[in-house]
Amino acid sequence: MFAVYAAEQQYRHDTWTREREHALLASIRERKIDVTPHRMTTTRAAARPQRVAWARPIGLHAPEECTTVCAVA
């Protein structure tokens, strides 16, 4: 009788495990299908505006006493 009980329990365990794995694979498949159309419909971000001035190198500071006259001369 114990052998029959053990075999029945093993069958139930295997069936439960198989059903859980199938459900997991199905949910993964559904997620992949859900994600695919969204990738195709994404819009592109607007291009960045062109910068008009060059950036100053790090650590370089303009002298405080210098004016535009000093820069032109």
Six-digit token string for 33: 């299908």
How far apart, in Å, do the first and last CA atoms of the chain sit?
107
d(CA 55, CA 14): 66
SS3 71: helix
Say if residue 39's pLDDT is above 60: no
Domain extents for the chain?
Answer: 1-40
pTM of the model: 0.41
d(CA 31, CA 71): 62
Mean pLDDT to the nearest integer, 32-57: 67
CA distances from 63 to 22, 55, 58, 67, 70 (A): 71, 17, 15, 9, 10
More confident residue, 69 or 28: 28
Mean pLDDT to the nearest integer, 37-41: 57
Least confident of 18-27, 29-38, 41-50: 41-50
More confident residue, 13 or 61: 13
